[in-house]
Chain A
């Protein structure tokens, strides 16, 4: 729910366990309590997509038996798989452009225990109009401290018999007859790749094929499509919002002609009953023109990367508590 600073402060002071997203000017004025937060001024609320620096998006966690909050840097972020509750959910927020995010995004898929512990989260950002001057932070509400270079994590203990189900809504798919693209390493930017086994300059390949770079690379994880979005192409180097991984087969997504309609169709088809949290990518917000549009029952922050165990792009990620 998108609510005022005063309303949010009241919930914190009542001792509620909360996840909060909003502009830094508001997060910095919240009282200490059982909450974590991250910066973004973009939201999908019950009223529709909105840019709002005057309200905060607050998700209550009434199912949580206990919560603990911790912060991690790039050297210890994967302690989350050891320090989480055995039956729980881990919510993580990382600042866009931070080293801890780079570390997490590149190495998470190789962490042995990651899939054994539900990890849900998002990447904090700022007003796109402010560019580099935007204040991107995450908050540990228990101390009131904010960070630009750490991940903040809330460990949530679930009641026995309950499980956190993390899922995603992705409008993109691939065409299995398209060329297979592979990369040599886990990288956030590349110059070369292999297309059907032949090494090529990736930027040249994109240009020659006339590929619309609003369409992400997609990888098929047993029917679950994971996107990697292209951030920029400069001087022959292609940069991504999330890493590409060695030994993973990618194809460019089939072009989506009507982004907003396709997005609505996928949401209708997903059929989630009662997600307590969702976050949607800023690229979906922009390319899908979601400002003012409703996506029930999915409401939450619009984010600069989404975490469904690993970092994903151009995706709506949500979580339900089942059982």
Chain B
């Protein structure tokens, strides 16, 4: 994940910008990490690590989402 995508994903997890994927699992992941971050604002690094692992796991679908997120 490049720096721009990471910055945008951070904003998504903080609820500062909204992004809805066509991938159900990605939406569920965002929702889960938003709750985790809300409960523990110090967990941002851990949330980003989780997100990176998720995106690496699904490179085919992550490619589209990362392009869309970077363009936000």
Q: Which residues of A are at the interface with B, using a C-beta cutoff of 8 A? A: 109, 115-116, 118, 161, 163, 165-168, 220-224, 247, 308-310, 322-323
Contact = CB atoms under 8 A, between A and B. Distances in A.
B28 interface: yes
B25 A118 contact: yes
B32 interface: yes
A115 B60 contact: no
A132 B60 CA distance: 45
Interface residue SS majority, chain B: helix
Contacts of A222: 19-21, 27-28, 30-31, 34
B24 interface: yes
Contacts of B20: 222-224
Contact of B25 (A109, A161, A166, A322): A166
Contact of A116 (B54, B60, B61): B54
B25 A163 contact: no
A309 B28 contact: yes
A224 B24 CA distance: 7
The contact size tier of chain B is: 20 to 34
Nearest to B59: A163
B31 A221 contact: yes
B44 interface: no
Contacts of A224: 20, 24, 27-28, 31
8 contacts: A115-B25, A161-B60, A163-B61, A220-B31, A221-B31, A222-B20, A223-B27, A224-B28
Nearest to A225: B27
A113 to B, nearest CB: 10
Contacts of B29: 115
Contact of A165 (B19, B23, B35): B23
A168 B22 CA distance: 10
A118 to B, nearest CB: 7
A7 B25 CA distance: 36
A115 B54 contact: yes
Contacts of B57: 116
A163 to B, nearest CB: 5
B3 interface: no
Given A115-B54, A116-B54, A222-B20, A165 B28 contact: no
A221 B27 contact: yes
Contacts of B23: 165, 167
Given A115-B32, A247-B35, A308 B58 contact: no
B35 A115 contact: no
B28 A221 contact: yes
A167 B24 contact: yes
A322 B28 CA distance: 19
A323 B60 contact: yes
Interface in B10-51: 19-25, 27-32, 34-35, 39
User: Which 7 residue pairs across A and B have the least CB separation, nearest first?
Assistant: A223-B20, A221-B31, A224-B27, A222-B27, A222-B30, A222-B31, A323-B60
B25 to A, nearest CB: 5
Contacts of B39: 247
A116 B53 contact: yes
Contacts of A310: 28
A115 B30 CA distance: 11
Contacts of A322: 60-61
Contacts of A166: 24-25
Contacts of B27: 221-224
